[in-house]
Amino acid sequence: MKLLAALPVFCLLALASAQDSPQRCTSPYQMDGMVAVFVPLQLASDYGTFSYDAVNERVYSNIFVNNGEQTWQQVDILLFEKSMIYRYFPQNKTCLKGPLRVPFQKFGVPKDATLLGPIFAGTSEIPRAGLLCNNWNGFEHGTYYLMTFTDYDCFPLYFVAANRKGWFSESYFNITVGIRDPTVFTPPPECDHLASETLASRRHHLWVLSSPFLG
């Protein structure tokens, strides 16, 4: 009888433990924010803003690219529903466009990722001085990845991927929910008069495109 009486308590404790364990998550479907990209083998560090719209499957980034010798501004508009990518250079008002042959990838933890454990950005010893996050890692298509998302609402914080060809990292910050200016997804007029050009060999930004899972 004592054993039977203890079983409900054990089940409740197990259920509470399972509920407390971080679960794979998906980020908000619409976000604005900033991103910093580091690609060491290309001696490149990029910094700028992004808008992410999973509802309409489109991504915008306005990045200042630095390859160690020069810096230039580069605007990427990725319209996945139309399978088109536009790359605009404001400094000389030139534009390239081409087919987008990769699927849209939502921000979030991949289904095969493994939880490394929760961490605090900052400290947990002082009230309101730390942010609870979760570290995940995995290996897919010959690439090892490590990613960090906030425990609450699954905001992306950090992503790094490495394979035999090298590695890169991306850090995300100043994120807000929603799209403040939907017009950023409209390509500039200079993009309407150019023949299609493949941009697959050019460097992309944001985890949505540079993710190793896209092949």
All residues at 6 or more sequence positions from 81 whose CB lies less than 8 Å from its CB, including other chains: 56, 57, 58
What is the residue extent of each domain of the chain? 30-104+170-214, 114-166
Q: Nearest 5°: phi and psi at 178? A: 100, 165
What confidence score (pLDDT) does residue 196 get?
59
Chunked into runs of 10 residues, the chain (215 residues) has average pLDDT values of 43 42 90 91 84 94 87 92 92 89 86 90 80 92 90 92 86 95 95 65 46 36
What confidence score (pLDDT) does residue 140 get?
82
What confidence score (pLDDT) does residue 185 get?
96
The 8-class DSSP code of residue 196 comes to -
CB 78 within 8 A of CB 100: yes
Gap between the Cα atoms of 59 and 208, Å rounded: 8
Among candidates 135, 162, 175, 166, which has minimal Cα distance to 36?
A: 175
> Strand, helix or coil at 215?
coil
Q: b/e string for 11-50 if b means 16 or more Cβ within 10 A?
A: eeeeeeeeeeebeebebbebbbbebebebeeeeebbebbb
> Strand, helix or coil at 83?
coil
> Strand, helix or coil at 178?
coil
What confidence score (pLDDT) does residue 32 get?
97
Find where tokens 């609870």 sit: 132
- For residue 205, count CB atoms less than 10 angstroms from its CB and return exposed for 0-12, middle for 13-18, buried for 19 or more: buried
Gap between the Cα atoms of 144 and 11, Å rounded: 36
Gap between the Cα atoms of 47 and 205, Å rounded: 10
Gap between the Cα atoms of 189 and 77, Å rounded: 13
pTM score, whole prediction: 0.81
What confidence score (pLDDT) does residue 124 get?
78
